[in-house]
Amino acid sequence: MALSFGRFRLDEVARTLTLDSKPVALQPRVFDLLVYLVNQRTRVVTKEELLDELWRDVVVTEGSLQRAVSVLRSVLRAGGSPEAVRTFTRRGYRFCAEPNEQLPPELGPEHLGGTQRASASPLTTARELVRLHQWSDALSVFRGMPDSSALTADDYESWARCAEAAGHPHESALPLERAVAAHLSQREHGSSARCALALANLKLESRDIAVAKGWHQRAATLLEGSDECHEVAMHRWLGGRIALFEGHLADARTSVDAALAMARRIHDDDVECLALAYSGHLEVATGNSAVGLSLLDEAGAAALSGRVNLWACGIALCSVILGYMHQADYHRAGQWVDEFARWCERYGSYCFPALCRLHRGEVMALRGELGEAAKFVAEARELLSVAGPYAEGDAHRVIGEIHLSRGEYTAAEDAFKKAHQLGWNPMPGLAELLVARGKPDQAQTLLVRALDEPSWTDGQRRSLLLATLAQVAARTGDLERARRALAELDGTPSLAGAARGEAARARAQLALREQHPTDAVTHLERAVQLFIEARLPLKAARARLDLTELLLAAGDRAGADLELSAAEGTFRGIAAAPLLDECRQLRARLEAAD
């Protein structure tokens, strides 16, 4: 099927959507949604049918469909077809745009990427694919080029950019090295320095610190005597990033501040955006969370302004998401994840950078979209194993959290152990697993160690670790430790919804130990509300199970039934068989009480 409507042309066979003859990047699932609605345009298609057809063998919530429809409408709205997909309340969706004409599909080698012609040279094809942001296709052409002698320094930089954007950043090293030499042979020292800085950043991402510092210094030599410019400002920013990686916060602040000031003097949007993001991280790291998060928000907005290059956009947006994730503010992290997804849709940069893909998967998991999240995280782990091995352990931590959410304790334990093996602390998920297995003493020991000897990541996640420790300490009877942890949380400004919810659960545990069951119910009800407000349905369901136990013990069977029913609905939606077994046991007790 090929169809044109408005300014769009849809080609099902070639899997392309064009607007005014220019390709429009769509996620595969969003493209499939459009094709299905167009093919069924004579009727309203129910949400259930779309979920069954487009997410076969994957358990997802209705939210996944709603987001796909939202993305599709944004694309169609930008092309002047805002009413192409209409919602029919309580029924579903229908494609309502009138076709212009029926068109035959285009097949054959001339259709590759919508640009390649049989007579075009590989280099011409690669350049055109780069212009259209078709990174993977362009990278394939560069890889297969029989003779690279015709490539210019700019071509080598384009090759490196494609490798980054297609999720293979390690492949960018060779073309960047050649670009350094090619620019230098033309005595273009500034351009050569720019590529040296890209190499420094690449090696920093893979934790080859010595090599990164070597390329950073090489760039400094190439820039000697230069006036203020993009490359000099970028050199300052990257110096701050290296210092931050090595834990030298004062040096990092000096370099980042200098980069930000210079970027503003020379009106360099790229470096200003990057420096804002790292200024935010430094403020958070030194205890000024409110200021730091405000700077991160500004960096995110700058990235989306359309004036920042794709590489800087990816780094900045990933930094913003990471900042909120570390603060356990998953609701705001999710808002930026949605913005990042929209940005990816616009530019087709699905694999860039891999860490953002991981964070997106983690937010999806926290929202209860475990099937889609598992795919995102698995893909991110595979990319990180090559592109960012230092963070592969974090991917295993998230995989463990997904299994834990379903009550799959053995698989969760395996993933957490793999995260630890790769140098990543799997807290607080491992502590929650140990509690679920009746080992709160072991959980408390690990949490105390993480708080007393924090890594960089542990320090960023301190509030969530404290809230978990308070819960565990109350369970073990160490009430004074629980009170100290809660007191520190009370003094933490801008405490996020997830940490506040976990703290409320801890207060409930403490109230139970102190023989105040009515207070415990109040705290748990508060925890449920906080989790709901933060869009954390699985955490809310866990708290509801605890609340069901208390209400049942208090003889409030009606209240217990309401909480248990809500938890059952959530766990049924993610096919969490072990947790549904727990719900069935509670249901049997509830029915026996009647």
**What integer pLDDT is reported at residue 314 of this predicted model?**
80
Among the candidates 79, 107, 135, a domain finishes at 107
Give pLDDT, residue 562. 96
Q: How many domains does the chain have?
A: 2
6 and 101 fall within a common domain:
yes
Is-contact 321 359, C-beta < 8 A? Answer: yes
**Predicted pLDDT of residue 114:** 43
Are the beta carbons of 469 and 447 closer than 8 angstroms?
Answer: yes
CA distance 205 to 512: 47
Considering the domain architecture, whether residues 6 and 98 belong to the same structural domain is answered as yes
Give domain status of residue 92, yes or no.
yes
Per-residue pLDDT reduced to its tens digit, 321-376: 888 887 878 888 888 888 877 776 666 544 446 777 788 889 889 888 898 899 88
Q: For position 101, what pLDDT does the model report?
A: 46
Same structural domain, 82 and 150 = no
**Residues 137 and 200 grouped into a single domain:** yes
Give the model's pLDDT for residue 58: 67
CATH code of the domain containing 68: 1.10.10.10
For residue 37, tell me if it sits in a domain: yes
Tokens encoding 5:
């409507």
Task: Please state, in angstroms and as integers, the Cα–Cα distance from residue 186 to each residue in 70, 172, 219, 220, following that order.
Answer: 49, 21, 16, 18
Write down the pTM of the prediction.
0.66
184 within some domain: yes
d(CA 290, CA 484): 23
Q: Look up residue 247 and give its two tokens.
A: 């834990």
Q: Which two tokens stand for residue 400?
A: 């463990």
Q: Which of 263, 261, 256 is nearest to 231 (CA)?
A: 263
Burial call 536-570: b when 16+ CB within 10 Å, e when fewer: bbbbbbbbbbbbbbbbbeeebeebbbebbebbbeb
306: in domain = no
Q: Yes or no: say if 35 and 7 are a contact pair by the CB < 8 Å rule.
A: no
Domain presence at residue 318: no
Q: Fill in the amino acid letter for 490.
A: D
How many angstroms separate the CA atoms of 551 and 482, rounded?
Answer: 24
Whether 180 is covered by a domain: the verdict is yes
Two tokens at 409?
């304790």
Residue 18 lies in a domain: yes
| Residue 1, pLDDT score | 58
CATH code of the domain containing 158: 1.25.40
Residue 457 CA to residue 419 CA, distance in Å, equals 13
Instruction: Please give the angle made by the CA atoms of 81, 87 and 90, to the nearest 5 degrees.
Output: 175
Q: 149 and 86 in one domain?
A: no
Q: Which of 168, 194, 226 is the last residue of a domain?
A: 226
Do residues 136 and 84 both lie within one domain?
A: no
Residue 159 lies in a domain: yes
One domain, residues 192 and 101: no
Domain boundary among 191, 209, 226: 226
Q: Within this chain, do residues 181 and 85 fall inside the same structural domain, yes or no? A: no
The CA distance from 395 to 166, in Å, is 19
Residue 161 sits in the same domain as residue 88:
no
Residue spans of the chain under pLDDT 50? 101-118, 349-352
pLDDT of residue 471: 95
Same domain, yes or no: 45 and 79:
yes
Amino acid 318: pLDDT: 84
Q: Are residues 162 and 79 in the same domain?
A: no
Domain that holds residue 38: 2-107
